[in-house]
């Protein structure tokens, strides 16, 4: 199969232009998926570097290896660290939390969804900024 690098470059440019994390096109029996972390063509993932956007195979991660218990976002939306602007944050690094404690709010379609901790532990890292868009399954917090 011959891969048209121009299509990958164009899709990569769309990622930056429209602030996307992933884009996919399908033509006949060929499917091309480009994301900030990987390029996938016809169910095969290949490493590539396109337009200064480092793209790697999906089995590899561009992030450092994280140790601890990861808590992920249950929905797509905007993450908030506090119940309202200027209020005390739900969690801080070093704070001990219990399973079920609210760790963040994710706003989706004007609805504020409280995100509970799925484990007991001490907050090791908060992985998203206040007001940052998050995706389903994205790590938002790491516990020790």
The whole domain housing 73 covers 69-143
Residue 115, domain CATH: 2.40.50.100
Classify residue 37: in a domain, yes or no.
yes
Q: What is the pLDDT of residues 19-64, one digit of tens each?
A: 888 888 887 777 777 777 544 454 444 444 443 344 333 333 334 4
Q: How many domains does the chain divide into?
A: 2
75 and 126 inside one domain: yes
30 and 77 inside one domain: no
Classify residue 64: in a domain, yes or no.
no
Classify residue 63: in a domain, yes or no.
no
87 and 122 inside one domain: yes
Q: What is the pLDDT of residues 118-127, one digit of tens each?
A: 889 999 999 9
Q: Give the tokens for residue 113.
A: 């969804």
């Amino acid at each position: 199969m011959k891969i048209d690098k121009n299509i990958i470059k164009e899709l990569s440019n769309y990622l930056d232009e429209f602030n996307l994390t992933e884009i996919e096109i399908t033509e006949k029996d060929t499917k091309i998926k480009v994301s900030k972390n990987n390029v996938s063509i016809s169910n095969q993932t290949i490493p590539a570097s396109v337009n200064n956007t480092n793209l790697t195979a999906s089995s590899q991660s561009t992030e450092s290896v994280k140790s601890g218990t990861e808590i992920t976002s249950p929905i797509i939306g905007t993450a908030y660290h506090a119940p309202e602007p200027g209020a005390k944050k739900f969690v801080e690094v070093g704070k001990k939390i219990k399973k079920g404690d609210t760790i963040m709010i994710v706003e989706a379609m004007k609805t504020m969804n409280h995100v509970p901790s799925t484990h007991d532990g001490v907050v090791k890292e908060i992985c998203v900024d206040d007001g940052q868009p998050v995706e389903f399954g994205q790590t938002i917090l790491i516990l020790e």
